[in-house]
Structure 1
Amino acid sequence: MTPQRRLLILALAIVLLGGVGAWSVLRAADEADRQNRPRAGGPAVTEGKVTLGQAERLVFRNTATGPHRDELVTVPSADPTGATRTASGVSCLRFHTARGTGVCLQSSTGVAQQNYRARILDADLRTVKTYPLAGIPSRARVSPSGKLVAWTVFVNGESYGTAFFSTRTAILDTRGWKLVPSLEEFAITLDGKPYRAADVNFWGVTFTGDDDTFYATLSTGKHTYLVRGSLARRAVTTLTQNVECPSLSPDGTRIAYKKRVLGTAALWREHVLDLGTMKSTPLAERRSVDDQALWLDDRTLAYALPGEGGQKDAHDVWTVPADGTGAPRVLLKDGLSPSRLR
């Protein structure tokens, strides 16, 4: 090959790479601009003061396109759809709050990779403590007293729908800032016998009111179990199978959860388990719900489903009666990770 031909090939390669780079930059800029443009007919959002002490309001992650996308916003619980959303300026991937304590799971771009962290917030959304996360945020819960905080992450960035994945679930006691980095450290009693296995995973913690007892999902041997655990004893015990992402009712008598159903169009279906009788009731929502449901009160559950229009990570919040009657209805368009402030 002659020197002239080599120079020509080099020049063409430089032009081609430059064109690809320019196209990538323009596409990224266009995507960023699109995300910052409010959707026609979408919810109205304004900046304002947001606190976790505001009574009878819903706080949630706003997934509507626009300048306040992914920020925590509040609306009156009596008029969640019609009211203007008040934006806090605090962005979260997953969020939950109780009694003035909030947990905000976030992402931040590092030098070479995406990093994740858990921020513990006070009632004014000020950061009290920050903890690094080992993977992509998935679930977050605060105990009814606001003293205990739990979060689950995907260590390998996979999903519950795949055959193999790894989660890590941590529990933090804010009274002395003692962190249990992984529930896999706890002793397991499965079907009445001590149990150990390399494939153990936990996710979806929900707390009782005694600041010690919790429920969660245990996965091992291609089965999922509902477990009841004790922080003081550092132990969990299995109660029943095929329970994922449990959520304890305010009166402490029932567990809402997603049940894997085979041979149907839906991968999971929402159920409610009576802890006294261990009887499970399927709910009126027949679509596949991949969420840890929230009890709005003792009769009503809220959960997220993917939104319409193909927007990335856009969701709507739906509600359904907890006794198996009624029908699903939309509570919030373009929202995720709701909590009710009382």
Structure 2
Amino acid sequence: MNTRTRTLLAVTGVLALAAAAVIYVGVARNPGTASAGTSGAVTLTGPRLLFRSTADADRGHVSSVATADPGGPRAVSTVTCSRVHAAGGTGICLRPETGLTTYQLAVLDGGLTVTQEIPLVGVPNRARVSPDGRRLGWTVFVSGDSYNGGRFSTRAGILDLTTGDVEATLEDFAVTVDGAPYRAVDVNFWGVTFTRRPDRFYATMSTGSHRYLVEGDVKARTVKTLRDNVECPSLSPDETRVAYKAAIDGDPVKGWRISVLDLATGAVTPLGETRSVDDQPAWLDDRTVAYALPRSPAHSDVWAVAADGTGDPRLLIPEAESPAALP
């Protein structure tokens, strides 16, 4: 990250909130598809499934349900997010700034108290926390890139809570494509997913007509391509596989098929969900993948399917999106 970016973030970026978020348990709307809330606060302890509710009045309250009863009573907090994720006792919340038309990243502790805020230039799209809760990754939509004819592009960044370092965009990293150094004005990144190694991550990089799975090293500030036609990767808990959305026939206009890539063998397994899924999958455990499907422009449901390609998809959490398993 260059000096100018660091200075801008230092001046306008990380702000501590004086007041903790007040948690309550709400009653979800549309009782036919989403059950009423339970007593107690939403926290980042499990076994629970965390998600963004699309059932409540304002749509977007951070909520949770018991892992053993995902369709049952839900706890609903006052914290609202456009995207949410959590792991290792840390949460990430991408949300609009109050009273403004801009957005911010809010870091949440185990009780959903906001501990830091960072301004985002762009509309929130994806969010992830590393397994140890120390690194946060995000993706936003931006417009105005000259090479893109004014259409939306993406920016992906990483925050290290241990050091306080912020990589505002992965576009500053050195890129290797098929083993050779690569530079192009149309490089975009999105869908960060973290390994347990402190500096390593996976993401999608697009350039030209390609959408590559890349492996990145934050310390070295490098990324290298691993495979084409991989979008929104999600690393399995055992770190042997990546769940992702694959463009049908390599053409995103035709939609996406949720698939799983074996990192050791390169084998790809299309999953039992045959509907087009435009989401970053989330692993519930080493055997199950979850994802959101819209039922209308403002409402979504979280579905689950076996990661080995067998079985049919099942409705997991009605009126929900951005799922995260809290062990």
Structure 2, unaligned stretches of length 5 or more? 1-26
Match of 1:42 among 33, 45, 55: 33
Partner of 2:316: 331
Q: 1:110 Cα deviation (Å)?
A: 4.1
Query: What secondary structure does 1:149 align onto?
Result: strand
Quick check: 1:48–1:88 contact (8 Å CA) kept in 2? no
Match of 2:104 among 117, 128, 133: 117
Letter in 1 for 2:92: V
C-alpha distance in structure 2 between counterparts of 1:102 and 1:264, whole Å:
30
Q: CA-to-partner distance for each residue in 1:75-103, whole Å, 9 max, x for gaps?
A: 1010011x211111100110110011000
Quick check: 1:206–1:215 contact (8 Å CA) kept in 2? yes
Quick check: 1:103–1:121 contact (8 Å CA) kept in 2? yes
Letter in 2 for 1:229: G
Partner of 1:102: 91
Partner of 1:290: 278
Q: 1:37 to 1:317 in 2, by over 3 A?
A: closer
Partner of 1:9: none
| Runs of 4+ deviating beyond 4 Å | 263-266
Letter in 1 for 2:42: V
Partner of 1:26: none
Quick check: 1:94–1:105 contact (8 Å CA) kept in 2? yes
C-alpha distance in structure 2 between counterparts of 1:153 and 1:264, whole Å:
19
- TM score, norm. by length of structure 1: 0.82
Q: 1:166 to 1:209 in 2, by over 3 A?
A: same
Q: 1:265 Cα deviation (Å)?
A: 8.9
Query: What secondary structure does 1:296 align onto?
Result: strand
Taking the TM superposition and a 5 Å limit, the aligned residue runs for 1:254-269 are 254-262=241-249, 266-269=254-257
Match of 1:75 among 65, 72, 75: 65
Query: What secondary structure does 1:50 align onto?
Result: coil
C-alpha distance in structure 1 between counterparts of 2:213 and 2:270, whole Å:
16
Match of 2:159 among 172, 191, 212: 172
C-alpha distance in structure 2 between counterparts of 1:260 and 1:157, whole Å:
25
Partner of 2:52: 61
Whichever structure has more helix as a proportion of its residues is: 1
Partner of 1:29: none
Tell me: higher relative CO, structure 1 or 2? Use CA pairs within 8 A at least 6 residues apart.
2
Quick check: 1:49–1:86 contact (8 Å CA) kept in 2? yes
Q: CA-to-partner distance for each residue in 1:40-83, whole Å, 9 max, x for gaps?
A: 51323337411112x2111111101x4463111111010011x2
Residue 145 in 1 paired to residue 132 in 2?
yes
Letter in 1 for 2:94: L
Quick check: 2:144–2:150 contact (8 Å CA) kept in 1? no
C-alpha distance in structure 1 between counterparts of 2:239 and 2:151, whole Å:
32
Q: 1:281 Cα deviation (Å)?
A: 1.1
Structure 1, unaligned stretches of length 5 or more? 1-35
Task: Please tell me the root mean square deviation across aligned C-alpha atoms, in Å.
Answer: 2.2
Q: 1:313 Cα deviation (Å)?
A: 2.2
C-alpha distance in structure 1 between counterparts of 2:208 and 2:53, whole Å:
37
Partner of 1:196: 183
Residue 242 in 1 paired to residue 233 in 2?
no
Letter in 2 for 1:104: C
Quick check: 2:28–2:34 contact (8 Å CA) kept in 1? no
- TM score, norm. by length of structure 2: 0.86
Q: 1:164 Cα deviation (Å)?
A: 4.7
C-alpha distance in structure 2 between counterparts of 1:164 and 1:61, whole Å:
27
C-alpha distance in structure 1 between counterparts of 2:319 and 2:260, whole Å:
26
C-alpha distance in structure 2 between counterparts of 1:224 and 1:121, whole Å:
31
Partner of 2:73: 84
Instruction: Tell me how many residue pairs correspond in the alignment.
Output: 296
